[in-house]
Structure 1
Amino acid sequence: MRLAITGASGLVGRFIAEEALAAGDEVLSLSRNAPLPGFFSAPVVHHPWELNGEPPALEGCDALVHLAFRHEPGRYRGGEGRDPEGFRSANLDGTQRLFEAARRGGVHRVLFLSSRAVYGDYPPGTRLAENMPPRPDTLYGEVKWQAEQALAALTAPGFATASLRATGIYGPAGPGQRHKWTDLFEDFRAARPIAPRVATELHGTDLATAIRLLLTCPANRLGGRAFNTSDIMLDRRELLNEVAQLTGCASPLPSPGDARRVSEMECARLHNLGWQPGGMALLRESLPVMLAL
């Protein structure tokens, strides 16, 4: 398969690109800057592209995975900063141009990385099922939901589409990158105060496995649908206790967070395709690498 991936050199995109390379795919990386030598485990083809520019040429690609998203550094919700119109123009208009270019270019399958943020203002503790209507309450969630709808509207015979509503993605970072918990781990080891928090998490390799399933399953299983993509409910206290056991760090643990205020996602559609994420076992396997032990 010749697979085009936007944002392949990002923290999340690298997991998708590495899985594709391991599967023997030819990877076309679409991003502003070419990846540094050695960033990926095998060569990839790079084509310069950015969301607010002209859509790329996608002729000859079998599938497209759209991960790229323009936002303020380190922020998704609220990632528009002081430029909501520019945020919407790049992330919605640019995404729509990309999807249309994929259809014109003869791409057969397109997957879009959406977000749990599309569910928005459901009460804390709600079990979020895929058939529940989205209720985004942030510009980020609204743009993701509108992009989902734009892609679904293009679905046609020979052009299969789906969106993945993903939770927070964790895992080891690529060369020269910092993973999502780098600052948290540094604060803990320096005994700085840490606020309690509980969140849903998903390892990047499990996201990549979900994407592989959607790239290879029968096209009629996609149908423009959205697939919830989540795994563990994780308290920072539990996470940092694992760090303490691995490092011998004696810093005080944060207070337990309130799991009752976290809405978990039901991932029935992916589970029905045979998807099984790695759970706490995969987290524990990854922590020594993330701690550089």
Structure 2
Amino acid sequence: MRLALTGAGGFVGRFIAEAARAAGHELVLLSRRPTGLPGEHRAFDLLAPPPPLGDVDALVHCAFLHVPGRYRGGEGEDPDTFRRANLDGSLRLFDAMGGRRIVFLSSRAVFDGYPAGTLLPETLAPRPDGLYGEVKVAAEKALAALQGASLRATGVYGPGPQHKWRDLFGDFLAGRPIAPRVATEVHGADLAAAALLLVERPEAGAFHASDLLLDRHDLLAEVARLTGSDRAPPPRADAARVSRLECRRLAALGWRPGGWDLLRSSLGSMI
């Protein structure tokens, strides 16, 4: 399959690019500048018209313009540009595909308006609480009308030069205080597997991708074990306040995330 991918230079996009190449797909990488990854590069900016896409079979859309390090609140001081790029730019991209298969990377943030601890099935109506979630919901609705698939992801972890726990691990091993926290996580490789599964399926609408309910206590206890550190992990947080995504639609298609085994096998390259 000839697969177009936006956001290949980002953390999640690189997992998808790697998985797509391993599956034998031919990649067309859409980005403002070459990513250095194997595949054909075409110049693409969310604020500009997309390049011609008539020769691609499907699209995975991960690109998102935001303040560095922030998704919620990622509009910074410029909500208008944030909306024009991430909503209007996505809609232009969807139109350019002309009815061919599209998978859009959405977020659990579409449910931020629900109380903490709410169970989040795919059938639950979105209730965003902020511009980030609002933009994702609007793009999801537009894509659903085109029979595309939206992949609502929880927190994503995995190896990489700037992985999400780099500072956390450094602070813990240096003996600095660590605040208790518990959250849901999915490995980037599992998210990539979900995206490619949906590329090859006709099902439309929203799909949830989440795996572990992970407490920093358990994560950092494993880091201490692997490094031989005698540092004590922080106390456990209140897991009852975590709103968890149900992933029934992906599970019905055969998606099986790696759980603790995949986390443990990844930690050595992340510490």
TM-score, normalized by length of structure 1? 0.90
Structure 1, unpaired ranges of 5+: 156-160
Deviation at 1:285, TM superposition (A): 0.5
Number of the residue aligned with 1:186 = 170
* Other-structure match for 2:124: 132
- What secondary structure sits across from 2:167 in the alignment? helix
Matched residue of 1:290: which SS? coil
CA deviation after TM superposition for structure 1 residue 214, in Å? 0.9
Q: CA deviation at 1:251?
A: 2.7
Aligned to 1:183, the other structure's residue is in SS state: helix
What does residue range 1-293 of structure 1 map to in structure 2 within 5 Å? 1-36=1-36, 40=37, 43-103=38-98, 108-155=100-147, 161-173=148-160, 177-217=161-201, 219=202, 222-223=203-204, 225-291=205-271
User: Residues of 2 paired with 1:35 and 1:250: CA distance?
Assistant: 40
**1:190 CA drift (Å):** 1.3
Deviations 1:168-216 (A, max 9, x none): 111011xxx3111111111111111111111100001111111121112
Cα distance between partner residues in 2 of 1:79 and 1:215: 28
Distance 2:230 2:90 in 1: 47
Give the percent of matched residue pairs that are identical in Structure 1 and Structure 2: 61
SS in 2 for 1:12: helix
Aligned length, in residue pairs: 271
Q: In the alignment, is the contact (CA less than 8 A) between 2:87 and 2:139 conserved in 1?
A: yes
Alpha-carbon RMSD across the aligned residues, in angstroms, is: 1.1
TM-score scaled by structure 2?
A: 0.97
Displacement of 1:236: 0.9
* Cα displacement (A) at 1:274: 0.8
Unaligned runs of 5+ in 2: none
SS of the residue corresponding to residue 97 of structure 2 reads: helix
SS in 2 for 1:123: coil
User: Alpha-carbon deviations, 1:72-121, whole Å to 9, x = none?
Assistant: 11111111111111111110111111111111xxx620000000010122
Q: How far apart, in 2, do the equivalents of 1:252 and 1:208 lie?
A: 34
